[in-house]
Structure 1
Amino acid sequence: MFTVALFILCFYTAVHAAALQLRDLSQHAQDLATLSITYMDQQWDEDLGFISSQYLEFRLNVGDHLTRETLWYSLGLLLRNNGTDHDRAVAAIHRVLDNQYDSPNTSFHGTFRRAPEEPTEPPAPVREYLDFDPNWREFCGTTLALLLMEYEAVLPADLVVRIIQALRLAAEGTRKRKTAPPRYTNIALMRSFVLSFVGDRLGVPDFVEHAEECAQQLYELWARDDDKTLWEYNSPTYYGPDIFALVLWTSYTNEKSGLVKLGDEILDGLWSDIGEFYHPGLRNFVGPYDRSYGVDMLTYQAIVGQWIWLAVGREFAPIPDLSKPFDHSDDWCFAVVVALLSPRTRIPAAVIPRLTNFTGDRTVRRVIAHTSQKTTTRLPYTPDDDPQRDRVVTAWLGSNVMIGAQASNDDKVRNQQFHPATIHWRTPTGGVGWFRAVPTTRYIIAKAGPGLRLEIAHPLPLPKRNDDNPRTFAFRMGGFSALDRQAEASALESGTWVLPGLTFSVVTNAVVQGSIVRMQEDIDGLGRRAMYAVNFTMEELEGVIPWLYIQVLL
C-alpha cells in the first residue's frame, strides 16, 4: 500500500511539475502575469468564489461579480501555483460552470451568465446583449479549452468531466449561432477555435467542418485585397482577443487543421499592421478606430497593450498607471492569459523595434473589405477615396502629432465605439491630448493627409434613415488641463482652436451650435480630468453637402 501511494504521489508531483509554471515564462511575461494575478487577488470574494468587478458601468447594469474574469483568474492561479492557489482555482472553475445556461433550442444555450447575480435564465422576451451575452460562449470556451490543454493533468477528474461537458454545450450553442459572421472578427476567430477543439476532442465531425468553413470565410475576407485587413479594424481592445485566438489557431489546434496555416498568415499580417499604426512616442495607435473604449491608451485598459508589454516590456507598453483608477479596469484580468501564451507567441522580429522607437513621419492607407467579393456599386458622391461598399482608412503619423480618418458607408449609424476621425498630440505637460469625431450619420467621408489636414464630409444618405443626422458634426476632445472660461467661450467662434500643445484652424459650411461645453471624463465614477464637447450644425440646403476641414498649425 505504501509503495502504491508513494508511486501515485511521485507520479502526481511529476505531472504537476510538467504543467506550465510562472518560472517557465520570459521576464516580461512573468511581470505581466504577476501584476495581473495580484490585481485579481485583491478582487477575490472568498464567500462567493468569484472576483469582483471594478468597472462601475458593469456593476450598475449587470452585477457585482465576474464569471469570465474568474476563469482567467483560475488560469493565473494554476500558473502561479503557490499555497492554496490550486484549491482556489478548482473551486472558482466549479463556480463558473454552475453559471452556464443549458437550455437547448434557445439563443442563449451554452453561454454563461456574465455575473452570478443575473437570473437563472434571461427573462422573456430575451434580448441578446442586454439580458445575456452570447460572446461569453467564445470567451469562456477558449479559456476552458486552455485549462484542459495546459492543466488537465493537475485538475480533479470530476472537474475535467464538467469542463468537457461545458465545452460541448458551448460548441452546440455557437454552432447554431446566427450573429457571428466573419466580419465579427474577434468572436469569429474564437468561435472557429472552440468548434475545432471540441470537435477534435469529442469526435464531432460537424463541429470540425464548420470550424474550417468559418476560418476559410474569415481568411478570404482578410485576404480580399493586397492590404489584408481584419474587418474589426484598428481596435486597441479587440486586437487583443484577435491575437489570442490566432495563437490558439496556430499552437493548439490539430496540426492537420487548416486553422494552423491560415492563422500563421493572418497573425503575421496583423502584427505588421500594428507596427504601421502604433506610435511608440505617444503610446497610442493612430486612428480611426472601428471599436474602441477610449482615445488614450494611457487612461484605459486596451488589451493589445498587454501584447505589446509581452514583446517589449512594461517600460514601453501603452498601459495606464496601475496604481491609479483607469477605465475598463476589468480587462486587466486578461493580462495573465496573454502571459501564459508567451511561450507559443511569435512576434515578427521586424515589428519589435517599431514598438519602442518612432521610425519617422509616414502616411498609411488601407482598404477594409465588407465582403470577400469585389464590389462594383457606385454611390452618388464619389471623391478620390470613395468607400463604395468598402471602407477606406487614411492616417498620418508625425513625431508629436498623428491624424487618422475613415471613409465609410454603413447600414446604420454606428455606436460610440466607432471613432471615424482622431487627432493625438503631445501636450506641454508630457501627456497626450486627443480629439475625436462622434458618428452622427452612416455615410462619412473622412480623410487624413500629410499636410496635417483632416477633411470630413457627410454626403446625404439615400435613402435617409431616422437615425441619420448628416447635417451635424459632433466632436470630443480632452487629455489636457481645463481651459479657462474665456478660452472656452472664444476658442471655437474664432475658427482657430488654441488647445494646450496644439492649435488648429477650422473651416466649415456649418455653424457652431451653442458654445464649447466642458464635461467630465469619468473614470469608473471618479472625475479625472476635463473633456470638451462641441457640435456644428448646417441649415438644410437642397443638394449641399455638409463639410468641415481642420488644419493643424504647429
Structure 2
Amino acid sequence: MLPNFNWLLGLGLLGVASTAHTVQLSKHAQDLFDESMFFQDMIYDSNAHYLRFFYYPLAAGVHETRSSVWRTVGLLQRNHGDDAAEAAKILELVIADQEKDTSKQWYGDYTVYPEQPTVGGPAYDPSYRDLLPSHVQDLILGSIYNSTVGDTYRVGGVDDDNLYPAYTNPWLMRTVASAWTGLKMNDSNMTYWGDKWAEEFLDLYNVNNTISEYNSPTYVGVSLYALAIAAKYMTNITNAPVIAQHSEQIIRDIWEVESLLWNPMMRNFAGPWDRTYGYDMNNYLAIISLWIWSFIGKDHAYNNPNPIGTMTHADDLEIGPLVAVLADSQKKLIPESVLNRFRTSHFVGEHTYHGQTYAPPVDYEPRNVTTWVSANLTIGTESFNQTALGGSREDTNAFNPAVVQWLRSDGSVGYLTWYSTEKAMQAEVAPYALNLTYPEGNETSVFTFALSSNPLGAKRDIYTLDAIDGLKIEVGGTVNPEPVVSFCGILGGTCPIIHDFEFWNITFVMPANSSEIPSIHFNFSLE
C-alpha cells in the first residue's frame, strides 16, 4: 500500500465551485500536456483500464494505480471520443480497490498496482464533473473523504511513521487535501486539521523562509503542485484555509530560491540536493523540470533532444496533464524577473547564494547552504549536523549535500557528488574551490564521491583525476591526495549503480594513525 496523500495528486483540479469542462492551456502547457498524453497512450492497456507500470520497478506485465489516476485528468481535459467514459471506468476500478477497513493502519490507502494482493484508490474533480456519471462523482467524493480520514492515521514518531512537517511534499499534500475536503464535505474536524497542519508547516517554514525538503528537483515539484492547488482553488473563498492564505507567497519564495540555484547553460539546479533521483536533470526526469517546461518551454528545461522516455525516472512524465492544467495559474504568481533566470539569454552571471534550511527531528540545527554558480561550473554545499546518515529521509543514495557540476567538451554535464558517510560535515565554498571537514571524524573516516563517466570520444577509463574530461582538480587537506578508484556500472564493477546512473567511485582516506581532523580541499579549473 502507498500513503493516502500520494493518491491525492488528482486533487489538483478539484474546484470548490463548478468550472468549465476544460482548462484553456498556454502554448507551453499544451505542449507538455500533448507529449505526456502521447506517452501515456502508448503504454495504456485499454482492456485492463490501467497504464502499464513503466520504468519503475520494471515489473513485467503489471499495471500502476497512481499514474492511471493522473491519466484520468488528461482524458477529461482532452475529452475526445470515449475519453470521458474511459476516465470514469479507471476511477471506478481504482476506488473499488481502496482500503475501507477503519481498523487497519492503512485505511484509505490505495494499491500500488491492481495485481497487488490487497486493496487501493484515488481522488478527483468537479472541474470536469459534468463529464462523469453522477454515481462516479459520488464514488470520488467518498473516496477522497476516506483517504483524508486515513491521512490522520499518520503521526511522526508513532509506529515508525516519518510524516513530520519537515517531510514537505506529503505534509503539504495532506494539508491541502484536508482543507479542501473539509470545506467540500462540511466537516469541521477536517478543516480544523487542515489548518492545524498548515500552522505546523508555517512554524517551521518561517524559521528560514525555505522548505525543509530543500532543492529536491522531484519533490519540490510536488510541493509546488500542492501549493498551486491551494492557490488556484481556495484563496478566493470566504474564510479561506490557512494554507491557501499563504500559498501564493510560498510559491513565490520557492521559485526565487530555485531561480538563483538554476544554471540555464546546464539546465540543472546546482547543489546541494536534499533528495534526488539522479545527477544530471537532462538524463532523469524531475517534476520541477515539467513546471519549467510548462512556463517557458521544453527547450529551457532540457539541453538535449533525447526523448523523455529514454530518461531515467521517465514515469513521472505521466503527471504532465496535472502540471499543465495548473501551470498558467501558477505562472501568474511568479515575477517575470524570476522566470527570466531560467532562460539562457537572461543568465545573471556568476553569483553566490547563501541560505538556511531545517528539517527536525533529524537536524540538530539548521543547515547552512552555500552555492556558487557560474556559466560552466557550479559548486553547491550545505553544512549539517544530524542524527542519522542520509539526511532527513535517512537515504544515503538520495542525500547530496556537496555537488560539483561542469559543462564538458561535448556540451554534456559532468558531476562530482559527495556520498553520505558522516552525520556531521562543515562545508565551505568559494569560486572554483570546495572545502569539506568532518568535525566528528577520525582516522577511519573517508571522503567518497560519485564521479560521472567521461563523454563519448574522451578517455574511457578514469583511474586518476587528470583523466576527467573538462575539469582539473587539485586536492589538499588532511587526506591522502591520491584516491582509491573503482567503477560502479550497469554491467559490473565493484558497486551497484545509483538511480540508474553509472559512476566512478572516488574515495579519499586518511593517513594511517592520523590524529588530525578529516578534511579535503578541492581547487577546480576548467579545461
Shorter-normalised TM-score: what interval? 0.7 to 0.9
Amino acid at match of 1:453: A
Residue number in structure 2 paired with 1:133: none
1:344 aligns with 2:329: yes
Q: Secondary structure at the match of 2:462?
A: helix
The 1:249–1:436 alpha-carbon spacing in structure 2 relative to 1, beyond 3 Å, is same
Q: Among 349, 353, 360, which residue is 1:364 paired with?
A: 353
Amino acid at match of 1:84: D
> For each residue in 1:169-219, what CA deviation from the matched residue of structure 2 results, as whole angstroms up to 9, or x when unmatched?
111111221132110100111101110111111121111011111111211
> For each residue in 1:62-99, what CA deviation from the matched residue of structure 2 results, as whole angstroms up to 9, or x when unmatched?
x8321111011110011111112111111111122122
User: Structure 2 CA distance, aligned partners of 1:529 and 1:456?
Assistant: 24
Matches of residues 418-437 of structure 1 in structure 2 within 5 Å? 418-437=399-418
> For each residue in 1:141-191, what CA deviation from the matched residue of structure 2 results, as whole angstroms up to 9, or x when unmatched?
xxx2xx323112221111111111111111111122113211010011110
Larger radius of gyration: 1
User: Which range is displaced more, 147-156 or 34-43?
Assistant: 147-156
Contact 1:480 1:530 in 2 (8 A): no
User: Structure 1 CA distance, aligned partners of 2:196 and 2:308?
Assistant: 45
Matches of residues 35-46 of structure 1 in structure 2 within 5 Å? 35-46=35-46
User: Structure 2 CA distance, aligned partners of 1:255 and 1:201?
Assistant: 13
The 1:443–1:419 alpha-carbon spacing in structure 2 relative to 1, beyond 3 Å, is same
Higher relative contact order (CA 8 A, sep 6+): 2
Q: How many residues align?
A: 484
Matches of residues 512-527 of structure 1 in structure 2 within 5 Å? 515-520=484-489
User: Which range is displaced more, 216-225 or 281-290?
Assistant: 216-225
1:198 aligns with 2:181: yes
Contact 1:55 1:328 in 2 (8 A): yes
User: Structure 2 CA distance, aligned partners of 1:299 and 1:470?
Assistant: 35
Residue number in structure 2 paired with 1:182: 165
Q: Secondary structure at the match of 2:516?
A: coil
1:350 deviation in Å?
Answer: 1.8
User: Which range is displaced more, 32-41 or 44-53?
Assistant: 44-53
The 1:289–1:26 alpha-carbon spacing in structure 2 relative to 1, beyond 3 Å, is same
User: Structure 2 CA distance, aligned partners of 1:389 and 1:420?
Assistant: 15
1:292 aligns with 2:273: no
The 1:99–1:355 alpha-carbon spacing in structure 2 relative to 1, beyond 3 Å, is same
1:407 deviation in Å?
Answer: 0.7
Amino acid at match of 1:87: A
1:512 deviation in Å?
Answer: 7.1
Residue number in structure 2 paired with 1:207: 190
Residue number in structure 1 paired with 2:199: 216
Tell me the TM-score normalised to structure 2 length. 0.86
User: Structure 2 CA distance, aligned partners of 1:514 and 1:246?
Assistant: 45
Q: Among 382, 389, 393, which residue is 2:369 paired with?
A: 393
Give percent identity, aligned residues only: 26
1:113 deviation in Å?
Answer: 0.9
User: Structure 1 CA distance, aligned partners of 2:518 and 2:116?
Assistant: 46
The 1:517–1:337 alpha-carbon spacing in structure 2 relative to 1, beyond 3 Å, is same
The 1:388–1:51 alpha-carbon spacing in structure 2 relative to 1, beyond 3 Å, is closer
Q: Secondary structure at the match of 2:310?
A: coil
Residue number in structure 2 paired with 1:51: 51
Q: Secondary structure at the match of 2:336?
A: coil
1:354 deviation in Å?
Answer: 0.5
> For each residue in 1:412-451, what CA deviation from the matched residue of structure 2 results, as whole angstroms up to 9, or x when unmatched?
001111001111111101111111111011112222222x
User: Structure 2 CA distance, aligned partners of 1:17 and 1:262?
Assistant: 23
Q: Among 470, 489, 493, which residue is 1:501 paired with?
A: 470
1:456 deviation in Å?
Answer: 1.1
Residue number in structure 2 paired with 1:7: none
User: Structure 2 CA distance, aligned partners of 1:516 and 1:541?
Assistant: 22
Tell me the TM-score normalised to structure 1 length. 0.82
User: Which range is displaced more, 24-33 or 532-541?
Assistant: 532-541
Amino acid at match of 1:422: V
Contact 2:32 2:294 in 1 (8 A): yes
User: Structure 1 CA distance, aligned partners of 2:355 and 2:474?
Assistant: 27
Matches of residues 110-149 of structure 1 in structure 2 within 5 Å? 110-120=108-118, 140=122, 144=123, 147-149=124-126
Contact 1:513 1:534 in 2 (8 A): no
1:319 deviation in Å?
Answer: 7.5
Unaligned runs of 5+ in 1: 1-14, 122-135, 373-386
1:305 aligns with 2:286: no
User: Which range is displaced more, 432-441 or 283-292?
Assistant: 432-441
User: Structure 2 CA distance, aligned partners of 1:17 and 1:388?
Assistant: 47
User: Structure 2 CA distance, aligned partners of 1:87 and 1:319?
Assistant: 38
User: Structure 2 CA distance, aligned partners of 1:118 and 1:319?
Assistant: 39
Contact 1:508 1:548 in 2 (8 A): yes
Contact 1:454 1:550 in 2 (8 A): yes
Residue number in structure 2 paired with 1:404: 380
> For each residue in 1:105-139, what CA deviation from the matched residue of structure 2 results, as whole angstroms up to 9, or x when unmatched?
32211111111122116xxxxxxxxxxxxxx98xx
Contact 1:16 1:154 in 2 (8 A): no
CA RMSD of aligned residues (A): 2.7
The 1:337–1:453 alpha-carbon spacing in structure 2 relative to 1, beyond 3 Å, is same
1:250 deviation in Å?
Answer: 1.3
The 1:456–1:16 alpha-carbon spacing in structure 2 relative to 1, beyond 3 Å, is closer
The 1:209–1:58 alpha-carbon spacing in structure 2 relative to 1, beyond 3 Å, is farther
Contact 1:435 1:475 in 2 (8 A): yes
The 1:241–1:508 alpha-carbon spacing in structure 2 relative to 1, beyond 3 Å, is same
User: Structure 2 CA distance, aligned partners of 1:59 and 1:472?
Assistant: 37
1:317 aligns with 2:301: yes
Residue number in structure 2 paired with 1:283: 267
Contact 1:291 1:418 in 2 (8 A): yes
Residue number in structure 2 paired with 1:66: 64
Contact 1:481 1:529 in 2 (8 A): no
Q: Secondary structure at the match of 1:97?
A: helix
Contact 1:421 1:436 in 2 (8 A): yes
Q: Secondary structure at the match of 2:281?
A: coil
The 1:521–1:255 alpha-carbon spacing in structure 2 relative to 1, beyond 3 Å, is farther
1:337 deviation in Å?
Answer: 0.7
1:454 aligns with 2:434: yes
1:369 deviation in Å?
Answer: 2.6
> For each residue in 1:384-413, what CA deviation from the matched residue of structure 2 results, as whole angstroms up to 9, or x when unmatched?
xxx961101111001110000111111100
